[in-house]
Amino acid sequence: MILTHIAACSENRIIGTQGDLPWDLPEDMKFFRDTTKGHIMIMGRKTFDSFKGKALPKRFHIVITREPEKFSDFPSTESSPVVFVKTLEEAIALAKANTTTWPEEVFIIGGGEIYKQSLPYANKIYLTLIHREFKGDTYYPEIDENVFKLTNRRDVELPIPFSFLTYFRK
């Protein structure tokens, strides 16, 4: 299993504000959709809430919450399963067990709490770095360049300058 963070942050590491994204960047949203389609995604309960109660099509959702029993009625389908688990370790084990039928690359899609706790387990990071400062309440952790090597960078200028960065664990 390859565990990959996929995140977008500003120069001041902001990823979210009041339960939502601080920006509207259609090209980054398309990158997120294209990259995660057909894959297992691990997320925190607040990030799942930001989907407004709807699972994303053709993805296996593993949602981490201290109260999974609250979600026992949540609808889960074969093409878009949604499973609630109590710990990050349980989420990773469940993802691994499902890579027999789902792809090897499993995405951690946030938010701030889950990125921070799971960074030590990540093999790879797709980071969209937005070259502005934003106000917000949720952060992406610092990437230690002694641990992760930047292997790819694609710059985009519009509507605001940002870069698609890829890091691999050394």
Ligand X SMILES: NC(=O)c1ccc[n+]([C@@H]2O[C@H](COP(=O)([O-])OP(=O)(O)OC[C@H]3O[C@@H](n4cnc5c(N)ncnc54)[C@H](OP(=O)(O)O)[C@@H]3O)[C@@H](O)[C@H]2O)c1
Residue 135, Cα to own-chain centre: how many angstroms?
Answer: 20
Closest CB 83 distance from ligand X, rounded Å: 14
Among 35, 38, 50, 156, binds ligand X (CB under 6 A): 50
Cβ proximity to ligand X: between 86 and 149 the closer is 86
Segment contacting ligand X (CB under 6 A): 64-72, 75-83, 96-104, 149-157? 64-72
How many beta carbons lie within 10 A of that of residue 66, not counting itself? 8
The angle at the Cα of 40, spanning 121 to 80, to the nearest 5 degrees, equals 155
Q: Assess 125 for contact with ligand X (CB under 6 A).
A: no
Q: Assess 114 for contact with ligand X (CB under 6 A).
A: yes
Closest among 97, 94, 101, 99 to 42, alpha carbons compared = 94
- Rg of the chain's alpha carbons, rounded to an integer? 15
CB 106 within 8 A of CB 3: yes
Q: Assess 4 for contact with ligand X (CB under 6 A).
A: no
Q: Assess 7 for contact with ligand X (CB under 6 A).
A: yes
Closest among 126, 137, 107 to 165, alpha carbons compared = 126
Among 26, 34, 52, 67, binds ligand X (CB under 6 A): 67
Among 3, 4, 13, 21, binds ligand X (CB under 6 A): 21
Residue 36, Cα to own-chain centre: how many angstroms?
Answer: 9
Interacting residue ranges for ligand X, rule: CB under 6 A? 7-8, 15-16, 19-21, 43-47, 50, 64-67, 86-88, 109-114, 117, 138
